[in-house]
Amino acid sequence: MPLPQLVDSHCHLDFPQLIGELPDVVARARDAGVTRMVTICTRPRTEPQVRAIAEAHEGIFYAAGVHPMNVATEPEVSVADLLALSEHPKMVGIGETGLDYHYTKESMAAQQESLRVHIEAARQTRLPLIIHARDADEDMARILSDEHQAAPYTCVMHCFSSGQALAATALDLGFYLSMSGIAAFPKSDALRAIFAAAPLDRILVETDSPYLAPPPHRGNRCEPAFVADTARGGAETMGVDYEEFCAATSANFDRLFAKAAAHG
């Protein structure tokens, strides 16, 4: 019987922990039922390498932006820059962008400006915005809400591990929450409760490889094949069987990442 198909909606296949054995990493993902992946560019200067990975592999797409922790050290990216990148047929999302006040609070003003640039690019391209949020829930909720009120856009809260208030804001705006290995960690009861209360048709699943490996791989390098382990935990959290969870999250991906769904 074929394995249920899954999408790893957020990974970093160009990072050094994975790129050296990429064919094997991709093969193991396929063996686990992971038929599609979105590999994320976090620095403009690495976009050519990330794009090349997507071009070389069927079922691998990419997104591009400036990670908030890189805003202070990377050249500013403009809306026009992001629009130009979006012309590639396998570039399917804007980001990751967002706010990180845990490690890089000193650049918060620049992060907020960069976030607004990415939001405008998401509006104009009609590609989903991919959000990273850490220790910045109030500002994140305010900016996402204000910008959405000004003109709508679509969005996924990548690797969601923030509080209930930000989750509620995101869901009220029609956004999606993406479940990573964090949701399977033993001490993540509060996070699991947030996901359990969310509608199943707003949930995506991801690895954020090479980080955040779920049990039973915790402490090891993460890779896209492990999204199946996160999905098994996600199914339990959402109160559905594994096949239903895989089908729902794949359908959600197709709805949000419509350009990827239409490719080929």
What pLDDT does 112 receive? Answer: 98
Residue 245 lies in a domain: yes
The CATH number of whichever domain residue 161 belongs to comes to 3.20.20.140
Domain region containing 65: 6-262
Report the half-sphere exposure of 29 (CA within 13 A, side-chain side). 29
In this predicted structure, what is the pLDDT of residue 17?
96
Examine residue 1 and state whether it is found in any structural domain, yes or no.
no
The one-letter amino acid code at 151 reads A
Q: Is the pLDDT of residue 190 over 80?
A: yes
Average of per-residue pLDDT across 92-100: 98
pLDDT digits (tens, 9 = 90+) for 129-167: 999 999 999 999 999 999 999 999 999 999 999 999 999
All residues at 6 or more sequence positions from 60 whose CB lies less than 8 Å from its CB, including other chains: 13, 26, 36, 37, 38, 39, 53, 54, 90
Token pair 């999905």 in the structure block, residue: 231
Q: What is the DSSP string of the chain?
A: -PPPPEEEEEE-TTSHHHHTTHHHHHHHHHHTTEEEEEEEE-SGGGHHHHHHHHHHSTTEEEEE---GGGTTTS----HHHHHHHTTSTTEEEEEEEEEETTT-GGGHHHHHHHHHHHHHHHHHHTPPEEEEEES-HHHHHHHHHHHHHHS---EEETT--S-HHHHHHHHHTT-EEEE-GGGGSTT-HHHHHHHHHS-GGGEEE---TTS-PPTTSTTS---GGGHHHHHHHHHHHHTS-HHHHHHHHHHHHHHHSHHHHH--
Distance CA 26, CA 34 (A): 9
Dist CA 69 CA 104 (whole Å): 6
pLDDT at residue 25 greater than cutoff 80: yes
Instruction: Convert the pLDDT of each residue in 40-75 to its tens digit.
Output: 999 999 999 999 999 999 999 999 999 999 999 999
Task: Name the pTM for this structure.
Answer: 0.97
Percent of the chain with pLDDT over 70: 100
pLDDT at 264: 74
Asked if residue 2 has pLDDT above 90, the reply is no
Q: Is residue 185 a part of any domain in this protein?
A: yes
Total number of domains in the chain = 1
Closest-CA residue to 256 (of 146, 140, 175): 175
